[in-house]
A and B are shown apart, each in its own frame.
Chain A
Amino acid sequence: MESSDGEIIERVLGGEPGCFDLLVDRHGAALLGWLGRRCSGREEARELYQETWVRAYEGLARLEDPGRLRAWLLGIAYNLVGKRLRRAGALGFEPLGEREPHAAEVRDPLERAELGTRIQAAVERLPERQREVFELRALVGLDHAAVAERLGIREDNARANYYQAVRRLRSELGDELT
């Protein structure tokens, strides 16, 4: 049976640091998926991805609820991205959130299929709140309570935005995905 996050964390804290890789395997794609959509390039995404994991590793003993590991990781990533954006703003760079669709160029070094690019673009065109909620729910895999907490909104508001986002994407993309 697969170990829970809590069991793995106990092992890491109990003197088996190598077990941390299991957490990276389990949550790495969700974290990178989110970071990739927030960063201006794959190098930056990698830097923030690794920094998030290093900080999580160092602070693992402070994690109160192992069941919320992914939300906690995302919190670290949020802070790192926020710092990066503030620094970029101070230097006069364009804020990442207002750029044109960029995810396809970031997320995968391989050339994306046309459909993938269209999906990326459709997600980028969602209203900001819907997009944030959709990414946290569908891509990162947070539950609605965690999404609401992260964005500082009510849980029913998070749910409503998520369902609106899904409907909008379906009406834009049709059934071609299936």
Chain B
Amino acid sequence: MTGANEPEDACARVRERLDVLLDGGLGAVEAARDRGHMEACEPCAAACAGRERWGESLQAALAPGAEALDFAREGLAARLGQAPAPRRGGLTLLRGRAVRRAAAAALVAASALACLALLDGLGASGAPVGELVSSAMRELEAGSLPELSWPPSTAGLWGAR
């Protein structure tokens, strides 16, 4: 029973989605399946060709005619001639989002490195930051760092004026 209905089912399936097929909207496997069917099914192939012609005729009927194009273009060359010629500048060499993102990431990384280098060279006591951290770790291990309290007291900051 299924076997007997199969060709009709296939025809119905192909006809139903001809627009999608012609629009390139079917996946490769399904498109190959429908095209394979049409190789063996003349009525479906004819329907597909007719549908294709219909679409082309519709587009042709809606497209502007040659005279309309000529009219629209009249004087355009002169306007373009007066406009500044486009040139690729330094920044526009960085075309494309991926390239620009990579450049931005590199810039951020370079800035961070520069900040670290600056801090490293300008520690409050004149010592490099790495040295200060090591010193603090040693004091912490020796228990000589002042105990931290929470919430932090501001007395020492704003007090005794």
- What is A's interface to B at a CB cutoff of 8 Å? 12-15, 17, 20-21, 24, 28-29, 32-33, 36, 42, 45-46, 49-50, 53-54, 57-62, 64-65, 103, 107-110, 115-116, 119-120, 123, 138-139, 144, 159, 162-163, 166-167, 169-170, 173, 175, 177-178
User: Which residue in A49, A57, A120 is a CB contact (below 8 Å) of B62?
Assistant: A120
Known A-B contacts A13-B88, A42-B71, A119-B62; the reply to A54 vs B79 at CB < 8 A is yes
* Chain A to chain B: the 3 pairs with minimum beta-carbon distance, closest first: A177-B57, A60-B86, A61-B92
In this complex, what residue of B is CB-closest to A37?
Answer: B62
Q: Can you identify 20 A-B contacts, CB atoms within 8 angstroms?
A: A13-B88, A24-B73, A28-B69, A28-B72, A29-B64, A32-B68, A42-B71, A42-B72, A50-B72, A54-B76, A57-B86, A58-B86, A108-B64, A110-B67, A119-B58, A166-B55, A175-B50, A177-B57, A177-B58, A178-B50
User: Which residue in B19, B64, B76, B84 is a CB contact (below 8 Å) of A33?
Assistant: B64
Q: Count residues of chain B with CB under 8 A from any CB of chain A.
A: 39
Known A-B contacts A28-B73, A32-B69; the reply to A178 vs B54 at CB < 8 A is yes
Assembled-state Cα–Cα distance A83/B89 (Å):
29
A residues in contact with B65, CB < 8 Å: 107-110
- What is B's interface to A at a CB cutoff of 8 Å? 19-20, 23, 25, 50, 53-55, 57-59, 61-65, 67-69, 71-77, 79-80, 83-89, 92, 95-97
> A45 contacts B72, CB within 8 Å?
yes
B residues in contact with A32, CB < 8 Å: 64, 68-69, 72
Looking at chain A's contact residues, the main secondary structure is helix
> B71 contacts A109, CB within 8 Å?
yes
> B80 contacts A57, CB within 8 Å?
yes
A residues in contact with B68, CB < 8 Å: 32, 36, 42, 107-110
> A109 contacts B19, CB within 8 Å?
no
Assembled-state Cα–Cα distance A62/B92 (Å):
7
A residues in contact with B62, CB < 8 Å: 33, 103, 107, 119-120, 123, 138-139
A residues in contact with B79, CB < 8 Å: 50, 53-54
Assembled-state Cα–Cα distance A58/B96 (Å):
18
| Least CB distance, A147 to chain B, in whole angstroms | 12
B residues in contact with A64, CB < 8 Å: 95-97
User: Which residue in B61, B71, B85, B97 is a CB contact (below 8 Å) of A119?
Assistant: B61
Known A-B contacts A32-B72, A178-B57; the reply to A166 vs B19 at CB < 8 A is yes
A residues in contact with B97, CB < 8 Å: 64
